Amino acid sequence: MIDKTVQSVVDALEGVTSGMTLMLGGFGLCGIPENAISELVRLGVSNLKCISNNAGVDDFGLGLLLQQKQIKTMIASYVGENAEFERQMLSGELEVILTPQGTLAEKCRAAQTGIPAFYTPAGFGTEVANGKEIRTFHGKNYVMEEAYQADFAFVKAWKGDEAGNLIFNGTARNFNPLMCGAAKVTVAEVEELLPAGSLDPNQIHIPGILVNRIFQGQNYEKRIEQKTIRTT
């Protein structure tokens, strides 16, 4: 039986070095690989290029790496609720490549499926298209976007088994599944790690063939980025 489990986050991040390109799953603060991010901080690796929908908040998620100046280039769809991200971007300390959210998702999916590039109308006529090939199809202009090339992809799932099969919960299905298999090494941390064969095949979102390492995560905070309270 295939067993892709590693004993700890330390083992899961073996091989990560400075200067690498990393994908990190999640949407806002939902479904982010909290354990992997904490280990990246502990390792002290630097000059990282990080691909993620957003950069967390000042003291949580990727914001922890930004605080330590470990990220050199940030590829994201928006700044979000992160004042340090904004400060570093405006000061020029951090290279930021803002990418339309759908394009970012599709560049991950292209890497996952082995497609080197694709055309999209998103970003045509804006700075997003600068320096990129433009083609016209059926009278409409499209921008050529290349698939991402990453060394590691870190994702967080609700449940997983020893063979690497994953089930995501709710909004955590945004970006996490697309990053599985989209890098040279995919590392999944899960809230509940089960024996192979325990998951209902009809409920599996990502098959284990797209995952290289899996481990049982610990101490998830699951913060809420913006809490809205209505009084009656």
Share of the chain above pLDDT 90, in %: 81
* pLDDT above 70 (res 225): no
CATH classification code of 9-116+147-216? 3.40.1080.10
pLDDT for the residue 229: 78
pLDDT band at 158 (very low <50, low <70, confident <90, very high): very high
Comparing CA positions, the residue from 217, 205, 150, 147 lying closest to residue 176 is 205
* pLDDT above 90 (res 200): yes
Distance of CA 9 to the CA centre of its chain: 17
Query: Which one-letter amino acid corresponds to residue 147?
Result: A
* Mean predicted confidence (pLDDT) in 134-139: 98
| Per-residue model confidence as pLDDT tens digits over 73-117 | 999 998 777 888 889 989 999 999 999 999 999 999 999 999 999
* pLDDT above 90 (res 224): no
Q: Mean pLDDT over all residues of the chain?
A: 93
DSSP states along 169-229: -GGGGTTHHHHTTSEEEEEEEEEEEE-TT-S-GGG-SB-GGG-SEEEE--------SS---
| Per-residue model confidence as pLDDT tens digits over 37-66 | 999 999 999 999 999 998 888 888 899 999
Q: Is 122 exposed, middle or buried (0-12, 13-18, 19+ CB in 10 A)?
A: middle
Half-sphere exposure at residue 145, Cβ-oriented, CA atoms within 13 angstroms: 25
| Residue burial 93-106, b: 16+ Cβ < 10 Å; e: rest | ebebeebbbebbbb
Share of the chain above pLDDT 70, in %: 99
Rounded-to-integer distance, Cα 201 and Cα 167, Å: 10
Rounded-to-integer distance, Cα 145 and Cα 133, Å: 8
* pLDDT above 80 (res 232): no
In the chain, where are the structural domains located? Answer: 9-116+147-216
* pLDDT above 80 (res 184): yes
| Per-residue model confidence as pLDDT tens digits over 13-27 | 999 999 999 999 999
pLDDT for the residue 31: 92
Distance of CA 180 to the CA centre of its chain: 9
* pLDDT above 90 (res 145): yes
